[in-house]
Amino acid sequence: MTSGRPEDRAEPTPDEMRIDELARAGGTTVRNVRAYQDRRLLPSPRRIGRTAWYSPAHLVRLRLIGSLLERGYSLGNIGELLDNWSHGQDLGELLGMGRELIGIFSDEVPELGTIAETLEHYGLSLEDPAVIDQAVRLRLVEVDPDGERVRVPSPRLLRAGVELARLGIPLEDLFAELQQLRSDVDAIAGRFVQMVVRHVIEPHLVNGVPSARNAEKLAGIVLRMRPLATTVITAELDLALQQTADMEFGKCPKGMPAQPSPSVGDRES
């Protein structure tokens, strides 16, 4: 009879990842992941045969390391902080757990390239500087300080906007709608996240932060809830779009009959 412990299972669990998947989800490289393991910043993975499998707790730790590096901490400092946390010190009080614990909801990978490459990739041009300025202001594209490279935070969003413009929607209308849409979405996201925090996160906190023992469990719960949140919001949006489209497209232009008149043959039958 096999044990229920993960390390005793012969197959990976649905939320376990290979090293390349972990690196991609954590916004880093496989080489960095291995370097963090060598320095004992990341726990050893579970192995099935010759394949290493990483849990949601590894992803939480990896994102925390990345956040600390961005704040200017050295790997040595990070090792000390993580060690203190593992021994019960309140790391959340020192750093704030926020995004490091919850992680990033979108799995979309930003695109980087030169200005020329980005313009060609999305079929854009520099003919209208006002359009480019508006795209930058709305963070559809981000230009490096040196002015040589461009970052597209959401390729899906920019690609959809370009396609809608090609279908005939004026860019000024698209930009105005995006501003309003972001305001509406911010309100929806705020309510949803507050609900998750109140009912899912807070019960696992001690003095406002997760203990080292609860971190892995909480990380797994949050990772499972992220796709559920997207599903709920997307499903409701689909229903609302369908209902609104049915109402708008069902309206008849003035002077036109609501139903086509039956043909002579139809009347005779």
Extents of the domains making up the chain: 13-102
Helix (H/G/I), strand (E/B), else coil: 111: strand
pLDDT score, position 175: 93
Residue range 138-157: average pLDDT?
Answer: 86
Closest C-alpha to 233, from 181, 155, 165: 181
Cβ neighbour number for residue 161 with a 10 Å cutoff:
21
Helix (H/G/I), strand (E/B), else coil: 113: strand
pLDDT of residue 100 exceeding 50, the answer is no
pLDDT of residue 141 exceeding 70, the answer is yes
pLDDT score, position 144: 80
Q: Please calculate the CA angle 12-204-10 and round it to the nearest 5 degrees.
A: 10
69, 190, 205 from 81: Cα distances, Å: 12, 31, 19
Cα–Cα distance measured from residue 168 to residue 11, given in angstroms and rounded to the nearest whole number = 51
pLDDT score, position 168: 94
Residue range 94-113: average pLDDT?
Answer: 59
pLDDT of residue 240 exceeding 50, the answer is yes
Would you identify the CATH topology of the domain 13-102?
Multidrug-efflux Transporter Regulator; Chain: A; Domain 2 (1.10.1660)
Residue pair 151/144 in contact (Cβ under 8 Å)? The answer is: yes
Cα–Cα distance measured from residue 215 to residue 64, given in angstroms and rounded to the nearest whole number = 12
pLDDT of residue 190 exceeding 50, the answer is yes
Model confidence at 104, in pLDDT bands (50, 70, 90)? low
Model confidence at 86, in pLDDT bands (50, 70, 90)? low
Partner residues linked to 205 by β-bridges: 210
5-19, 201-215, 232-246: least confident range = 201-215
pLDDT of residue 164 exceeding 90, the answer is yes
123 HSE (CA, 13 A, CB side) = 9
pLDDT score, position 107: 63
Whole-number average pLDDT of the chain: 78
pLDDT of residue 94 exceeding 50, the answer is no
